[in-house]
Amino acid sequence: MGSATTICSDKTGTLTLNKMTVVEAHFIGTRLDPCDDVRAISSSSAALLIEGIAQNTTGTVFLPEDGGAADVTGSPTEKAILSWGLKIGMDFNDVRSKSSVLHVFPFNSEKKRGGVAVQSDTGVHIHWKGAAELVLSSCKSWLSLDGSVQPMGAQKRNEYKKSIEDMAKSSLRCVAFAYCQCDIEKIPKEDIADWKLPEEDLTLLGIVGIKDPCRPGVRSAVQLCKNAGVKVRMVTGDNIETAKAIALECGILDANGVISEPFVIEGKAFREMSEIARGEIADKITVMGRSSPNDKLLLVQALKRKGHVVAVTGDGTNDAPALHEADIGLAMGMSGTEVAKESSDIIILDDDFTSVVKVVRWGRSVYANIQKFIQFQLTVNVAALVINVIAAVSSGDVPLNAVELLWVNLIMDTLGALALATEPPTDNLMKRQPVGRREPLVTNIMWRNLFVQAIYQIAILLIFNFSGKKILRLQNESPDNAEKMKNTFIFNTFVFCQIFNEFNARKPEERNVFKGVTKNHLFMGIVCVTTVFQILIVEFLGKFFKIVRLNWSLWLVSVAIGVVSWPLAYLGKFIPVPVRPLQAYFKPCWKSSRRDEEEGRQG
Ligand SMILES: Nc1ncnc2c1ncn2[C@@H]1O[C@H](COP(=O)(O)OP(=O)(O)OP(=O)(O)O)[C@@H](O)[C@H]1O
Ligand SMILES: [Ca+2]
């Protein structure tokens, strides 16, 4: 997640609260005001509508016997519609007992509508409920004020279209209700399970607008992502206008920016493009409306091909394919479906989009900590190796023996990892651009820091290895003791160089390496423990390490040489580094030229 370059989020339930209420209703060609005032509707029309609401649903209404508030269950959309049904006078159990369900076509995100066939005294009715503009396009007539069926003329259709557009523009989710009569003879009695419910030539009953407020804090979370160079895109199954309105509310779309294709696109238009065309516009898409689960998947694939590291957040079953395909899939823990959770890598327990930003922050922190550790470890390794190899080749003897190297190993592996990998995330992490897929783990800045320190350590310690006895004035000691003192001094200096360099490793890019150091208690603890152990080793465990005690002046010189690594690191950060990754210079020519060609073709 630390390297994510883009987040594709669904709308409902992730950016919005998924707490829905019907706030607008258009029936019999007019807008109801308030939305639950159905006095203008004839009783036969109202009965038909209520039949549709009560029978064509996956939710239920439970009325407590003591007359308390009704308990409505189901998906948030269903709950909103059923609650509205209660307000317009629906008696759920009564309506359901008056007719029997013959066949059900459950709602799915692909078709964006669900239907049911019910039989009652008045015959067989097929009720449909679904995405408003799609259901409207299947309607040939509409139910008028007096309950008669009127043909849907161009003018009426445009009126309805306009009301859908207006509701969507004010960020409402639109659901339309329609029905048709069905001859009882046309129902296949034997294989009713395979019966395809008639879905054309419907009569429009009406449209409701459902409000689903934005989650508080989403706007600032989106802004944080923007600052961190992570582009947030909205990919929703909802109406494009609703999507746009919510995207503007969350700050995903900029009111002053371009709000047209290809930045805002319908799933259908995207789906019908060729793979190449999809790749070309994928980068630009900020909002995709009326998308099917497969469109979400296609977008993720196109973005990945473009080199993006894609994170997907979602809650519904319709998000599952995209969650699975994404580099990082994040599912909502509370409202998310099991399918979504199983397809994801991370589950956000509090369902809050702002937590996604925390994931980015921590992901970046882990990545940065790994880099710090690598820089520290490589410096120790390079220095120890070069010193021992040069000394062994030239004099046949090594200054750092096996037991000493094991101790050094412990400092840099276990203790170093603990000290550097536990650095908490800082605000600076969210001000950088994401690393993406291409940036190498060891950056040029890290190589520079590493070489500066390693060259310093190698140079100093080799000088002491070859002329240490003279510099340290050990000529008066016996040759054997002088050699031991010199090697102990080199070992001690080497360890102190690492201890001081551990501070430098904390901030590979910043000049002030001490920022926040006192707050990281583990780091301070480990540095102290390492120092104490080093003193104990040199002063009391000489027998095991084959070393001798050092006098206080040699101790001072060791520590002083270690301290120099601090100003050195500060000065080193003024050395400019090339943008092109160091590794690229070492790749065989043919390989890089082929890659350039490929990039040229893509870009
Ligand atoms: N239970 C339902 N019955 C009928 N129509 C529904 C129902 N739920 C949603 N719809 C319609 O389908 C559309 C959304 O479909 P879909 O399930 O693909 O998206 P979503 O998961 O709700 O949204 P998002 O993708 O933003 O999370 C809505 O705009 C609405 O008009
Ligand atoms: Ca959803």
- Write down the mean pLDDT value for the chain: 87
Closest CA to 139 of 124, 123, 125, 150: 150
Is 310 among the domain residues? yes
What Cα–Cα distance (Å) separates residue 149 from each residue in 41, 128, 152, 175, 224?
A: 13, 16, 9, 20, 53
Could you report the per-residue pLDDT of 70-100, keeping only the tens digit for each?
899 998 999 999 999 998 888 888 988 988 8
What interface predicted TM-score (ipTM) does this complex get? 0.95
Q: Following CA atoms 130, 135, 139, 143 in sequence, which dihedral angle do they give, to the nearest 10 degrees?
A: 40
pLDDT of residue 600: 46
CATH number at residue 248: 3.40.50.1000
Q: Quote the number of domains for the chain.
A: 3
Query: Is residue 542 predicted with pLDDT exceeding 60?
Result: yes
Contact 138, 147 (CB under 8 A): no
What Cα–Cα distance (Å) separates residue 324 from each residue in 287, 304, 312, 320?
A: 20, 13, 9, 6
> Is residue 532 domain-shared with residue 573, that is, in the same domain?
yes
Is 593 among the domain residues? no
Final residue belonging to a domain, choices 211, 236, 252 = 211
Final residue belonging to a domain, choices 305, 328, 351 = 351
pLDDT band at 591 (very low <50, low <70, confident <90, very high): low
Could you report the per-residue pLDDT of 448-466, keeping only the tens digit for each?
999 999 999 999 998 988 8
Measure 131 CA to ligand 1 centroid, in angstroms: 7
More confident residue, 221 or 598: 221
Q: What is the rounded CA–CA span in Å between residue 344 and residue 338?
A: 10
CATH number at residue 201: 3.40.1110.10
Could you report the per-residue pLDDT of 483-501, keeping only the tens digit for each?
888 889 999 999 999 999 9
> Is residue 425 domain-shared with residue 315, that is, in the same domain?
no
> Is residue 395 domain-shared with residue 314, that is, in the same domain?
no
Q: Which residues have CB under 6 Å of ligand 1?
A: 10-13, 75, 77-78, 107, 109, 112-114, 129-131, 173-175, 236-239, 316, 318
Query: Is residue 601 predicted with pLDDT exceeding 70?
Result: no
Final residue belonging to a domain, choices 211, 233, 256 = 211
> Is residue 473 domain-shared with residue 508, that is, in the same domain?
yes
Least-confidence region, from 245-259, 472-486, 516-530: 472-486
Half-sphere exposure of 189 (CA within 13 A, CB side): 2
The one-letter code for the residue type at 219 is R
Is 143 among the domain residues? yes
Closest CA to 581 of 379, 454, 442, 433: 442
Measure 405 CA to ligand 2 centroid, in angstroms: 56
Least-confidence region, from 45-59, 61-75, 216-230, 525-539: 61-75
Measure 337 CA to ligand 2 centroid, in angstroms: 9
Is 154 among the domain residues? yes
pLDDT of residue 602: 46
Is 10 among the domain residues? yes
> Is residue 46 domain-shared with residue 168, that is, in the same domain?
yes
pLDDT band at 603 (very low <50, low <70, confident <90, very high): very low
Q: What is the rounded CA–CA span in Å between residue 323 and residue 347?
A: 11
| CA 131 to ligand 1: nearest atom | 31
Is 405 among the domain residues? yes
Could you report the per-residue pLDDT of 344-357, keeping only the tens digit for each?
999 999 888 888 88
pLDDT of residue 316: 86
Q: Which residues surround ligand 2, an ion (CB under 5 A)?
A: 10, 12-13, 315-316
pLDDT of residue 594: 53
What Cα–Cα distance (Å) separates residue 282 from each residue in 134, 257, 285, 403, 581?
A: 25, 18, 5, 57, 27
Note down the domain range covering 149.
21-211
Q: What is the rounded CA–CA span in Å between residue 536 and residue 555?
A: 13
Task: Tally Cβ neighbours within 10 Å of residue 45.
Answer: 22
Query: Is residue 569 predicted with pLDDT exceeding 80?
Result: yes
> Is residue 39 domain-shared with residue 118, that is, in the same domain?
yes
Is 87 among the domain residues? yes
Task: Name the residue of 109, 268, 294, 312 whose CB sits within 8 Å of the most ligand 1 atoms, as the mutation to test its pocket.
Answer: 109
> Is residue 146 domain-shared with residue 197, that is, in the same domain?
yes
* Average pLDDT of the residues in 362-368: 92
Is 600 among the domain residues? no
> Is residue 330 domain-shared with residue 382, that is, in the same domain?
no
Q: What is the rounded CA–CA span in Å between residue 372 and residue 186?
A: 73
In this prediction, what percent of the chain has a pLDDT beyond 90? Answer: 46
Query: Is residue 40 predicted with pLDDT exceeding 60?
Result: yes
CATH number at residue 508: 1.20.1110.10
Catalytic residues: 10
